[in-house]
Amino acid sequence: MKKVCFLVPPVLIGEHPAERSSGCTRVVYPTPNIYELQVAACVEQRYNVTYMDCVNHSITIEQLLATIKRSPADVYVIWTVNLSVQNDIEVVRQIHEVAPLSWVLLLGPGAGYFANECHVDERTVVVHGEPELTVMEWLDKIDTDSDWHDIDGISYLLHTEHHRNKMRPLMKDLDALPVPARHLVSDIVYRNPKLKRTPYTTMVTSRNCPFRCIYCVPSSLTFAREIEYKTYNNRKPPISFRSPEKVAEDIRQLAAEGIKAIGFMDDNFIWNEQRTAAICEVLKETGIVWGCQARVDAITEPIAQLLGKSGCMYVDLGIESFNDKILEYIHKGITSEQIYRAIHLLQKYNVPVKLNILIGTSPLETKETIKDTIRKAKKLHVDQLMINIVSPFPGTQFYHMALENGWLKDGVYTPTDVQRESILNYPNLTNKEMEHMLFVSNLSYFLSPRFVWKQMRKFRSWSDFTHALRSLKIKLFG
């Protein structure tokens, strides 16, 4: 039986590890990579699986290489995002210096977009798009010494030439997937400062988002799927859903295992009242507190009421701006009036609101529009305000616009942490101005007496408080 090790590599390049679930920031607080754990669950049905998180267990590259040299796995699997690409490539090189016969599979959006750079050698294979079926077919071929070079959804290096096979069709039945292999990370305590209860985990009930925001990469799995699907179809992939019945079954299992809090990682958790009601019912039944991401135009009065009665401790609303011209330019598909209405409804039913503002999504942005949006957001007294800077991710419409219009600093894309860095220069707004406004705005908000007092009242233990304080320090100062 092949030995497969899922690996979160140590940090060799830069000071802080990449967050591999969202894929666009450095780690502020540890989050289980539910997408990777879903692949691991599929693999362990037929193979011997281990999981080595060098970041959370403070394993150095020297310690990792010593372990690999002593007892190498047959296959190492690394979930790669843009911020980790160069780091992961270097780790793969060093793995193959001590274990030249081991294979490395690179999954995720970083590997998918920068595939040729990731073809380190002929024993490194990139999995494009949705990974589960591709990984299993490749492993089965390797396990039986069969030729694998024609498998859909992979790319590789052979005799110094890069090869990329055709796209694998997306999965049709998400219910057929096993429960993510959370037991592989059971020795790590995960916390979400917005939920303030442990044990905490994440969960996904759907894949992808149909809306047309020009800049958006909601999660690393979505990004990987979109990069691959758009390459062959020139449009976003369709949404896939797990059934409410299967979601309810999994929530009950998590409750039985002692989970107290769940963060739903769906790009959009709320689609209609019937589906939302079914999931809310089991969350209320189990007493699990939870939070999710949603669009403001999905928040109706019945929805807000359902959330309020079922233990929802935050709804993460991506509003980006209160300027209607900017919202129209970025194809957000909402208006400032809808933003106000959604916030009003959620607050009416005591559902905490987290607003996400994204600086620089449009050349219409100025210092004045940024200040106006932040001022309006603060007046609403939401539970939390998160401000980041847009990044022109390759594969998005915004990336092509930035290239064509010369908005990219130095003319090329480089991976950036949206929590503090910008590579955009507009005629009326520079990257340094955006970075300064972001820092000052975050500092004034997170250190305000109102925010501090509101959050302090919600902590249930000294440990949760200290972890939240550490996350805030990383958020503000790195």
- List, for residues 292-342, the tens digit of each pLDDT value: 999 999 999 999 999 999 999 999 999 999 999 999 999 999 999 999 999
User: What is the predicted pLDDT for the residue at 312?
Assistant: 97
User: What are 423's two structure tokens?
Assistant: 């590579």
Query: Which residues, at least 6 apart from 71, have a Cβ–Cβ distance to it below 8 Å?
Result: none
User: What are 299's two structure tokens?
Assistant: 């928040």
C-alpha dihedral sign at 464, 469, 475, 478: negative
User: What is the predicted pLDDT for the residue at 271?
Assistant: 93
Domains 3-164 and 191-477 share a fold: no
Could you tell me which CATH number the domain at 3-164 has?
3.40.50.2300
Task: Compute the average pLDDT of residues 152-177.
Answer: 96
Question: Does residue 435 contact residue 389 with C-beta atoms inside 8 Å?
Answer: yes
Q: Is the pLDDT score of 49 beyond 90?
A: yes
- List, for residues 173-199, the tens digit of each pLDDT value: 999 999 999 999 999 999 898 898 999
User: What is the predicted pLDDT for the residue at 191?
Assistant: 87
User: What is the predicted pLDDT for the residue at 446?
Assistant: 75
Q: Is the pLDDT score of 157 beyond 80?
A: yes
Task: Compute the average pLDDT of residues 207-215.
Answer: 92
Is 191-477 a CATH 3.10.310.40 domain?
A: no
User: What is the predicted pLDDT for the residue at 452?
Assistant: 65
User: What is the predicted pLDDT for the residue at 362?
Assistant: 95
Domain ranges (residues) in the chain: 3-164, 191-477
- List, for residues 64-100, the tens digit of each pLDDT value: 999 999 999 999 999 999 999 999 999 999 999 999 9
Task: Compute the average pLDDT of residues 259-277.
Answer: 96
Question: Does residue 291 contact residue 192 with C-beta atoms inside 8 Å?
Answer: yes
Average pLDDT, the chain: 93
- List, for residues 232-241, the tens digit of each pLDDT value: 998 999 999 9
User: What is the predicted pLDDT for the residue at 423?
Assistant: 95
Q: Which residue matches tokens 């289980």?
A: 32
